[in-house]
């Protein structure tokens, strides 16, 4: 049994949950009593974490594919009947590049993972989160606020959720959450954390 059961009976979805920050998020929610459904492209890592932690369900998925996120939400609802929290954690930081070394195609691919994946899951989960008066937590990066050398495209993809997507979601949710004094979304921007 979890030592702290603050989230007992709650159902949480985490993207990019197989390793690094994502795995730590999965562990923290499980330790707090939640049922956690997580996705990742790393199927071996996801299956290993699912075996290690009771109270978790791993669903292989790529946040750049809307059908994978539809499956994530529908499987969560099928298994547990409700959804209380979404943690948009999946992301990618490319190797250091000077601005002139970047490409439009590489930037598009980074936008798909770091921004559009977040948007898509929010869009799909929001009707269910409204029913449960749930939460959205978007994991970004400190560099979205302060910048980083040789990381122009990454900084842009981490700045946009912090400055635009997060505030837009907050406004969109405010009619459903804030009158009850409930905060609809959170934005966390950790510093650099190596993920194997």
**Active-site residue set:** 154
Residue 120 · residue 69 · CB < 8 Å: yes
Q: Encoding tokens for residue 58?
A: 């791993």
**Among 70, 171, 88, residue whose Cα is nearest residue 136:** 88
Give the SS3 label for residue 164: helix
Do the bridges between strand 11-15 and strand 85-88 make them parallel or antiparallel, or are there none, so unpaired?
parallel
Give the orientation angle of helix 20-31 with respect to helix 43-52, to 10 degrees: 20
Spell out the residues 6+ positions from residue 175 whose beta carbon is closer than 8 angstroms to its own. none
In order of 40, 47, 74, 153, 155, the CA distances from 100 in angstroms are 31, 39, 42, 11, 15
- At residue 124, what are phi and psi to the nearest 5 degrees? -75, -35
Please give the structure tokens belonging to residue 87. 């943690």
């Amino acid at each position: 049994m979890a030592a702290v059961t603050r989230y007992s009976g709650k159902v949480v979805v985490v993207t990019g949950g197989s390793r690094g920050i994502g795995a730590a998020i999965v562990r923290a929610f499980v330790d707090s009593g939640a049922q956690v459904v997580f996705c990742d492209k790393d199927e071996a890592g996801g299956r290993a974490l699912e075996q290690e932690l009771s109270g978790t369900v791993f669903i292989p998925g790529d946040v750049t594919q809307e059908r994978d996120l539809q499956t994530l939400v529908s499987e969560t609802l099928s298994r547990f009947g409700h959804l209380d929290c979404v943690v948009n954690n999946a992301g990618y930081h490319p190797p250091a590049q000077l601005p002139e070394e970047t490409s439009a195609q590489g930037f598009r691919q980074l936008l798909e993972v770091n921004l559009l994946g977040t948007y898509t899951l929010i869009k799909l989960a929001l009707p269910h989160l409204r029913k449960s008066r749930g939460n959205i937590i978007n994991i970004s990066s400190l560099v979205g606020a302060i910048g980083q050398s040789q990381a122009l495209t990454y900084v842009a993809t981490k700045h946009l959720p912090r400055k635009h997507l997060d505030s837009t979601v907050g406004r969109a949710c405010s009619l459903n959450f804030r009158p009850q004094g409930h905060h609809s979304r959170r934005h966390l921007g950790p510093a650099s954390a190596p993920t194997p």
